[in-house]
Amino acid sequence: SVAALVPRAELEGDMGDQHMGLQARLMSQALRKLAGSISRSRTAAVFTNQLREKLGIMYGSPETTPGGRALKFWATVRLRIGKTDSIRSGSAIVGHVCTVKVVKNKLAPPFREATFEILFGRGICRYSNILDVGTQLNIITKVGTWYSYGDERLGQGRENAWRYLEQHPELAAEIERRIREMSGIPIPEWLAVEKAPEMEEVAATSEPQELEVSHS
């Protein structure tokens, strides 16, 4: 966390001491030293930061980030993440809907946006993403409030549909593979070889058995 970094002079000094630009100078020096090592070791360094507001700004955006401009220059990818809505279960808030905007990208086109859900205690909800992208690509059919995959109904309403996928991970994996194939995204090995739980149980037995696999 860049905003939480404390220079030694500030840490050992007295409350109220002024250290103008000290953090920015140290960040600039540190990043010059780190850049080569990070590249040679093929390591990903992830920095998080916070937004601040400049005082007296009449034109343009007043928002800025602590730590000076060096991190903005050295960064390969910069993402701006913000909460756009809350996820509720009854009257309780159980998560947030977040939007990510790529404000800088040296590896791919910038300024693209993505929306995802973060559930408290669980993290990013993978199954709601599969449902949304699958619907956009017409892999999943939506008629009224009902979602279907082929002849199989996933549920009425978005939440019921992605929770059905959560309860049937083999079906979610199948849909994700189709999404990646249609989008030209590489399929990771764990997803390419993923089997239904019933198939794994049969493979573990010593005697061959006939198995009829169906999605319930």
Q: Please state the domain extents for the chain.
A: 1-13+20-53+61-74, 76-124, 126-203
Name the H helices within 17-168.
22-40, 70-74, 126-136, 158-167
pLDDT of res. 200: 43
Round the CA-based radius of gyration of the chain to a whole number and report it: 24
**DSSP conformation class of 36:** H
Q: Residue 193: what pLDDT?
A: 66
Predicted pLDDT of residue 180: 94
Assign 3-state DSSP to the chain and report helix, strand, coil percentages, each to 5.
35, 25, 40
Q: Which fold has domain 126-203?
A: Rec A Protein; domain 2 (3.30.250)
User: Cβ(34)–Cβ(45) under 8 Å?
Assistant: yes
| pTM greater than the 0.85 cutoff | no
Name residues of the chain where pLDDT drops below 50. Answer: 195-216
> For 50-71, what is each residue's pLDDT tens digit?
998 888 888 888 888 999 999 9
